[in-house]
């Protein structure tokens, strides 16, 4: 395929050929294919005319672009939602031989600005979609009632919907036997961070450390504004779900000091899990919109605007006695690895030293020993006048990503910023897994319990990678680095 060479064009992150995208929607695995739908404006590079764009992949790395799946209608826009494979044809929208894929989404009515839940279905594996004639399937005459995420609750053989009452800072749970008739079960919230509206909830069980006997449920809710570093962002709650209600493990006040953030960077929003992936109890797979509502309409890209994070495995791990949501990019990304460097036990003198590693699409796996330094780290996309800094500050025990001098930053006053998160060292060492693309950096620190997802807009010439130490000498215990091939070829 030609194209995908414009300045800042993601090389191994998903972006539409042209026009605006926001949230991933309707993520579904069926028949060997990963489906990705997404909030899309078919007519321009600003938010509007919301429809569902569509792409498919066999490996979550290479994506084939498909025609728009669900178009805006006279009645309203097609907002975020989910999709399921209705294997038993509980909905009756397919047949026993041809079970349907069913999308459950929010219709945003143009005349009233109210929101209600609608269905669409496909009996040809997602090639074409029909709107369900009995829509809406769930309407409470509310203005901020959106983003239904539906999953199969096997213990009671029923579908569960988790949906946001955005302005109330609540999520509501509903149940259905057929996807068409829904019964209210319970509400959760306000809790945790509540400064902004609540959007895009998701709920799923995970075994702690892969042990099926220790199961917890994760409730994820996004928030806009009031995210961890301003603007939009996501939080999670750990607890139990009994088929009726979500009970957090410990009481959670409606106060941001209780919030557990999904990501400490500025650009991870509206993440949602794939329905029906293998090994679901061990880990879920999800992807987020790599952007922030603060400046999403102003990011300097053309002819597209908006991209996704890397698809990630999400699991629950007990670390130092506490449960954490841990994220790691999907293993299939290793097929993109090309040129390789392996550096070991290299002293990091005070100051900044360039490494032989260069590139603007890179994967770096680093271990750093802080030694006598009070600040230490890596720099990527280093050019004559710019750099993106990924570091650690010993005194505060904080990892940080500093994009203040990362390249183009002036398109929004709050873009140039330094973001940080608490993370204790392991025997004086820091583990970093870093992914660099033409307009992003994603940092997975520690075991992946601290993640930073950040857009950056450096000069294409800025390909340097460096290490630095301040206050004393440190050590690069090991660095494995690869250039990554474009997934757009």
**Catalytically annotated residues:** 23
CA-nearest of 398, 377, 400, 384 to 459 is 384
Q: Is 79 in the site for ligand FRU (CB under 6 A)?
A: yes
How far apart CA 344 and CA 477 sit, in angstroms, is 6
Nearer to ligand FRU, 48 or 383 (CB): 48
| Phi–psi pair at 260, nearest 5 degrees | -115, 115
Nearer to ligand FRU, 22 or 90 (CB): 22
Nearer to ligand FRU, 269 or 457 (CB): 269
How far apart CA 49 and CA 317 sit, in angstroms, is 41
User: Looking only at residues 184 through 213 of this chain, which bind ligand FRU when binding is defined by CB under 6 A?
Assistant: 199-200
How far apart CA 82 and CA 151 sit, in angstroms, is 9
CB of 127 to ligand FRU, least distance (A): 24
Out of 13, 15, 23, 326, the residue judged to bind ligand FRU by CB under 6 A: 23
In the structure encoding, which two tokens stand for residue 407, read together? 């390249």
The SS3 call for residue 194 is: coil
User: Looking only at residues 393 through 422 of this chain, which bind ligand FRU when binding is defined by CB under 6 A?
Assistant: none
Strand (E) or helix (H) holding 285: strand 284-289
Nearer to ligand FRU, 187 or 208 (CB): 187
- Which x/- pattern over 29-48 shows residues binding ligand FRU (rule: CB under 6 A)? ----------x---------
In the structure encoding, which two tokens stand for residue 347, read together? 């002293």
Q: Is 72 in the site for ligand FRU (CB under 6 A)?
A: no
How far apart CA 381 and CA 206 sit, in angstroms, is 36
Surface-to-core class of residue 306, CB atoms within 10 Å of its CB (0-12 exposed, 13-18 middle, 19+ buried)? buried
Nearer to ligand FRU, 85 or 269 (CB): 269
Out of 27, 36, 50, 376, the residue judged to bind ligand FRU by CB under 6 A: 50
Q: Is 22 in the site for ligand FRU (CB under 6 A)?
A: yes
Q: Is 82 in the site for ligand FRU (CB under 6 A)?
A: no
Nearer to ligand FRU, 123 or 273 (CB): 273
Nearer to ligand FRU, 231 or 407 (CB): 231
CB of 295 to ligand FRU, least distance (A): 14
The helix, strand and coil proportions of the chain, stated in percent and rounded to the nearest 5, come to 5, 55, 45
Nearer to ligand FRU, 198 or 438 (CB): 198
Strand 304-305 versus strand 19-30 pairing type: parallel
CB of 72 to ligand FRU, least distance (A): 11
Q: Is 272 in the site for ligand FRU (CB under 6 A)?
A: no
CB of 200 to ligand FRU, least distance (A): 6
The DSSP call for residue 126 is: T
Give 138's Cβ-side CA count (13 Å radius).
27
Out of 15, 19, 51, 80, the residue judged to bind ligand FRU by CB under 6 A: 80
What DSSP string runs through 398-465? EEEEE-TTSS--TTSTTTS-EEEEE---BTTEEEEEEEEETTEEEEEETTTTEEEEEE----TT--EE
How many angstroms separate the first and last alpha carbons of the chain?
5
Strand 115-122 versus strand 138-142 pairing type: antiparallel
CB of 389 to ligand FRU, least distance (A): 29
User: Looking only at residues 144 through 163 of this chain, which bind ligand FRU when binding is defined by CB under 6 A?
Assistant: 146-147
The SS3 call for residue 331 is: helix
How far apart CA 359 and CA 483 sit, in angstroms, is 6
Count residues contacting ligand FRU (CB under 6 A)? 12
User: Looking only at residues 98 through 117 of this chain, which bind ligand FRU when binding is defined by CB under 6 A?
Assistant: 106
CA-nearest of 292, 302, 291, 266 to 402 is 266
CB of 349 to ligand FRU, least distance (A): 45
CB of 279 to ligand FRU, least distance (A): 28
The DSSP call for residue 308 is: B
In the structure encoding, which two tokens stand for residue 423, read together? 């993370």
Q: Is 310 in the site for ligand FRU (CB under 6 A)?
A: no
Q: Is 280 in the site for ligand FRU (CB under 6 A)?
A: no
Q: Is 270 in the site for ligand FRU (CB under 6 A)?
A: yes
Which residues are near ligand FRU by CB under 6 A? 22-23, 39, 50, 79-80, 106, 146-147, 199-200, 270
């Amino acid at each position: 395929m030609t194209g995908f060479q414009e300045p800042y064009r993601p090389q191994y992150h998903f972006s539409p050929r042209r026009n605006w995208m926001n949230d991933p929607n309707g993520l579904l695995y069926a028949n060997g294919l990963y489906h990705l739908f997404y909030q899309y404006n078919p007519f321009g590079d600003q938010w509007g005319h919301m429809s569902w764009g569509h792409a498919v992949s066999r490996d979550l790395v290479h994506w084939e672009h498909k025609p728009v799946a669900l178009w805006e209608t006279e009645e309203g826009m097609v907002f975020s939602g989910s999709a399921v494979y209705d294997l038993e044809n509980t909905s009756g929208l397919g047949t026993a031989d041809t079970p349907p894929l069913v999308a459950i989404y929010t219709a945003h009515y143009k005349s009233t600005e109210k929101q209600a839940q609608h269905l669409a279905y496909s009996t040809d594996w997602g090639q074409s979609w029909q709107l369900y004639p009995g829509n809406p399937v769930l309407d409470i005459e509310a203005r901020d009632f959106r983003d239904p995420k539906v999953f199969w609750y096997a213990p009671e053989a029923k579908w569960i919907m988790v949906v946001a009452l955005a302005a109330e800072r609540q999520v509501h749970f509903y149940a259905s036997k057929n996807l068409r008739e829904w019964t209210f079960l319970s509400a959760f919230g306000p809790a945790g961070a509540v400064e902004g509206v609540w959007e895009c909830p998701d709920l799923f069980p995970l075994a702690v450390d892969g042990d099926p006997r220790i199961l917890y449920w994760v409730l994820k809710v996004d928030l806009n504004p009031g995210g961890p570093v301003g603007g939009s962002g996501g939080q999670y709650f750990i607890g139990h779900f009994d088929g009726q209600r979500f009970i957090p493990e410990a009481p959670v006040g409606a106060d941001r000091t209780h919030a557990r953030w999904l990501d400490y960077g500025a650009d991870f929003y509206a993440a949602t899990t794939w329905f029906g992936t293998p090994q679901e109890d061990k880990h879920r797979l999800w992807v987020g919109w790599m952007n922030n509502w603060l400046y999403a309409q102003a990011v300097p890209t053309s002819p597209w605007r908006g991209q996704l994070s890397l698809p990630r495995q999400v699991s629950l791990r007990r670390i130092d006695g506490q449960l954490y949501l841990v994220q790691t990019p999907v293993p299939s990304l290793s097929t993109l690895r090309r040129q390789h460097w392996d550096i070991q036990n290299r002293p990091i003198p005070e100051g900044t030293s360039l490494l032989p590693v260069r590139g603007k699409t890179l994967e770096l796996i680093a271990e750093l020993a802080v030694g006598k330094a009070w600040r230490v780290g890596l720099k990527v996309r280093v050019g004559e006048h710019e750099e993106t800094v990924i570091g650690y500050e010993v005194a505060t025990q904080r990892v940080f990503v500093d994009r203040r001098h990362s390249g183009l930053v002036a398109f929004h006053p709050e873009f140039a910023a330094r973001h940080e998160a608490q993370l204790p060292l392991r025997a004086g060492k820091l583990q970093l897994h870093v992914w660099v693309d033409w307009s992003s950096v994603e940092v997975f620190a520690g075991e992946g319990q601290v993640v930073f997802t950040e857009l950056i807009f450096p000069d294409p010439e800025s390909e340097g990678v460096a290490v630095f130490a301040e206050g004393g000498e440190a050590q690069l215990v090991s660095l494995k680095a690869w250039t990554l091939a474009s997934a757009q070829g």
